[in-house]
Structures are given as structure tokens and as C-alpha cells.
Structure 1
Amino acid sequence: MMIQTIPARHGKAVRLASGQAIEVINSSGTQVVDTWAFCPEDLDHHMSMMHTRVENGRLMPAVGHTLYTNRREPILVLEADTSSGIHDTIMAACDRWRYERLGCAEYHRNCADNMIEALADLGLDFHHIPQPLNLFMNIPIEQDFALVQGTPPSKAGDKVVLRAARDCIVVFSACPQDITPINGGLPTDAHYAILG
């Protein structure tokens, strides 16, 4: 098993064949990994959090649950999870406008651009940013339904295994957020390995 790096503040894209699994490792315990999955024959057919929530009847997937596309087809299965099981399905990927609203005067690396760049590394040109599965991201919901930018609840070395239900392209971003607490204030490398 060869462990690959998702560099802090950057993205990676990986092609998976149906039946292959990929292990995502929160090496520091504090790093959110935005995760997308696309059907290679049509990138407009992709993993959808709103469809996944409906099909599973849960706010976030648990071990054994299927992740669905925007056409309600299975694309990934959450096969194993050593973390707390807290993963966000609500928050949009950070983008340049998010950081402008947070007060950044200069360009700030962001998950939306990381996704575009990672797909471009595979020779793919796609600029629509679907809602990602934000692995290891903690967004508590208060009694008044307010959303909190929570600190990471995971531990160093926590892992999630996703198995491909069909041929797909999986894209990861080691989230660059360093203004809110979601990455513990300091983005770090994350890692992955294809398990076969």
C-alpha cells in the first residue's frame, strides 16, 4: 500500500475503478478533507450531498451507507471510519469570495480552486463546484439551528475508507481554512492510499 500526500492547502484527483477502495488519512487529526466524486464519462454527473442525505435519511453518512449522485445512483460506499464519525454535508467548499468576506485582501488558496486544479491535473476542464463531503469537519447545530464552525473532533491517524460503486474520479482538498477553527487554525497535509 503506497501512501500519497494531499499537500496542505492543495488538492489531488484520483481515478478509481468500480470495486476499488481509497483510504483517507487525517494524519494530524485536525485536517478537514473536502471530497468530491465524479463520473468520468460526464462530470456533470457527480456525488451529491443533498441526494445522499435524502437516500440515507441522515444528516451525515455512517459506515455502510452509500453516497449517491445527483441522478440518485450509487457512486461511493463509506466502508470504514475510525474517526468520531463527524463529517459535514452542509457547508459549501471555501472559495475566493468566502475569504474576501472573512477580510482577506489578497488571494487565499481555497477548496473550490483546489478541486478545479486537481481535475486539470488529469486533463479535465470543469468549473462547477458541487457540495463536497467535508470529511472530519465539525459543524455543530445549536438548539436555535445556528451552525457553528467547530473545532476538529478527530485524532491523528483517523481514517475513512471509501469504496467505488462505479468507475469514478475522486477529488480531495486539504482545506486551506486558517481563519475559522475548523482545521484547528493550521492547515496540514492529509494522506490517502488506494487499497485495491
Structure 2
Amino acid sequence: MTQTTIPARHGIATPLKAGQTIKVINTHGTQVIDTWAFELLPSSTSKISTQLSMQHTRATLCRTIPKPGDSLYNNKRQPVLTLTEDTTSGHHDTLIAACDAERYTELAGEDGKGHRNCADNLIEGLTALGIEPPQFTPSPLNLFMNIPIRADDQTSLSFEKPTSKEGEYVCLRAEVDCIVAFSACPQDILDINCGKPVDAHFEIF
């Protein structure tokens, strides 16, 4: 089976037909993968009609992290992907927005300007397929991202290192024809990629 590289610090997108499964592999065990899915308008190869929505998914599942067997929903509350397999300890995130240029300025001031970011990586992946990016960056499914909610007050969040191990993966089955986009998150200031963004991979079957 052919593996496709999700290059470190960059974005990539791929079409996925209904019934196909995409296996997202944390090749080195330390890389967060921001994940989106979009449906295109009928008879269009470039215009988006709906997008995977973390807020709609959380409301339907009544939890913040999906588990195997859970579907992931779009902004019309329709299932787009289903999480069919997860070999990790289950630490993923649906709360944190994709990093963008403003985030790096917030974290590092002038030194953060020009930093690669997931919002731009989404545009990179979609435009490579000739798809018009959405006007605003949707909140991604942050695969392998470890954002615990602190037990002391049950409201505070913490950015921690991934708990996933080398070669662990998740499988997502498409419920509809869609475009799936990934960003190998470039974050190297916080701990979420253990300070060193690296490649990841995916397979489609």
C-alpha cells in the first residue's frame, strides 16, 4: 500500500471517496496533525459546500474527543467521517484553533513573524488541488494533540507533549465524497510536537 508523506511544517490535501478509509500514521510518534474535511458543491471541482465542524461534532457526541465508532459531523450536522480505529491512547483534540500568523506573534513577538502555520498550510493543501479555501479557517480535528483539561477546576487547558508512540495511527472512513486536508503542525515553541515538527504519513484503502 502506498504511503503519502505529510511533510513537516507543511499542508497537503487529498480526495476521499465515500467508503474509502484514510489511515493517518504518526510516523515518529511526536507529531500533531491538524485535520479538516470538506464537501464540494455538486458539479464543482473547486468550491466548498460544507466543512467538518468540531463544535457540531462535540454537540452530537457529548464529549470533546471522539472514540472508535464515532462519526464526525459537518456544519449541517451530517456525518462526514467515522473514526474506525485508533491505536493510540486516545489523546486527540477538538478544542484548539489551528495556529496562524497571529498565534506566533502572540507567542514570540517579532521573532514569530513569518513562522509557518497550520492556517496557511490548509490553504497550501487545498490550492494544490485547485480548491478555493474557505474564507475563515475551520477549527481542526487535532490528531495526536494532547490538551488535558486540568482536574483542579475542570476549565483550564494545558498544552502537553503527545502521548502517541512511533507508528501509531488512526483510521477515518469517509461517509461521503470529500476532500481531506492535513497540516503537519509547525509549532516549535510549545511542547505539543516535542519542540521539533517532523513528517507524518497517510494511506488510503
Deviation at 1:146, TM superposition (A): 1.0
Matches within 5 A, 1:35-114: 35-41=35-41, 43-105=48-110, 106-114=113-121
**Is the Cα–Cα contact under 8 Å of residues 160 and 191 in structure 2 kept in the other structure?**
yes
Partner SS for 1:112: helix
Aligned residues: 195
Deviation at 1:57, TM superposition (A): 1.3
In structure 2, the gaps of 5 or more residues are 42-46
Partner of 1:191: 201
Per-residue displacement from partner, 1:126-171 (whole Å, max 9, x unpaired)? Answer: 1421000000000011122211001111100010000000000000
1:19: how far off? 0.3
Q: What do you get for the CA RMSD once the two structures are aligned?
A: 0.9
8 Å contact from structure 2 (residues 146, 162) kept in 1: yes
2:142 to 98, 119, 134: 134
Is the Cα contact below 8 Å between 2:40 and 2:49 reproduced in 1?
no
- Per the alignment, residue 16 of structure 1 pairs with 16
Which residue of structure 1 lines up, in the alignment, with residue 182 of structure 2?
172
| One-letter identity of the residue aligned with 2:115 | H
State the 1:44 CA deviation. Answer: 4.3
State the Cα deviation string for residues 103-132 of structure 1 (Å, max 9, x = none). 152300000000011100001121421000
Amino acid at match of 1:187: P
Using the size of structure 1 for normalisation, the TM-score is 0.97
Name the SS of the counterpart of 2:192 in structure 1: helix
In structure 1, the partner of 2:173 is 163
**2:133 paired with 1:123:** no
Moved over 4 A (4+): none
Give the AA of the match of 2:71.
Answer: T
Q: Is the 8 A contact 2:126 2:181 kept in 1?
A: yes
Distance 1:60 1:50 in 2: 11
Provide the TM-score with structure 2 as the length reference.
Answer: 0.93
| In 2, Cα distance between equivalents of 1:100 and 1:44 | 32
* CA distance in 1 between partners of 2:109 and 2:66 (Å): 33
Percent identity between matched residues is 55
Q: Quick one: structure 1 residues 77 and 148, their matched pair in 2 at CA, closer, same or farther if it must change by over 3 Å?
A: same
Greater shift, 137-146 or 162-171, is seen at 137-146
Partners of 1:187 and 1:104 in 2: CA distance: 20
Give, in whole Å, the separation in 1 of the partners of 2:186 and 2:97.
Answer: 14
